[in-house]
Amino acid sequence: MSFKSHSEIVFTDKFNTNTNWKMITDQVMGGISQGQFNYQKIGNDNAVVLTGSVSTKNNGGFIQIRRNLNNINLNKVNKVTINAKGNNEKYFIHLRTTFTVLPWQYYQHSFTVQKDFKNFILPIRNFKKSGFLLPDKINPKNIKSIGIVAFGRDYKAELIVKEISFVK
């Protein structure tokens, strides 16, 4: 299902195999979480499936897939929309901007999936900054990447996403 309301979609990723997502885990900083992702066909739709084991041991606690949004004009976007399902767990969207210089800086918004696909609407103004050094609010024109993240506690991740969009 697509988001075809009165809003205008500025950018959509429907997860064909040519998309630019990359796996990042807390192993980059000594953690032990493990994850993987792959592209699947679900009905007539493409999807990305993120699975793994999130562990907070060794100061860890995340697995994520991230893509750069370079050369995409997000100047007037108001929200991120996502169509996802999974294992009844909480996941996050992380946005990085020109101000999130350090690896542990981001803006985040949570969503909790269930066994059936659901559309989530995440207003940009409701994303929370990860640290006090960042501006309180995101200026959409400064967004440079988006991450789909299993984060913050010990659990098994199983998240399936059909579509993610930036919407005016």
Q: What is the pLDDT of residues 64-106, one digit of tens each?
A: 999 999 889 999 999 999 999 999 999 999 999 999 998 889 9
Given a cut of 80, whether residue 6 has pLDDT beyond it is no
Give the lowest-confidence range in 17-21, 53-57, 80-84, 97-101. Answer: 17-21
pTM for this predicted structure:
0.93
Listing DSSP states for 61-114 in one string gives -EEEEEEE-TT---TT--EEEEEEEESS-EEEEEEEETT--STT--EEEEEE--
- pLDDT confidence tier of residue 1, bands split at 50, 70 and 90: very low
**End-to-end alpha carbon distance in the chain:** 18
Q: Name, in order, each residue with C-beta under 8 angstroms of 110's C-beta and a sequence gap of 6 or more.
A: 90, 91, 92
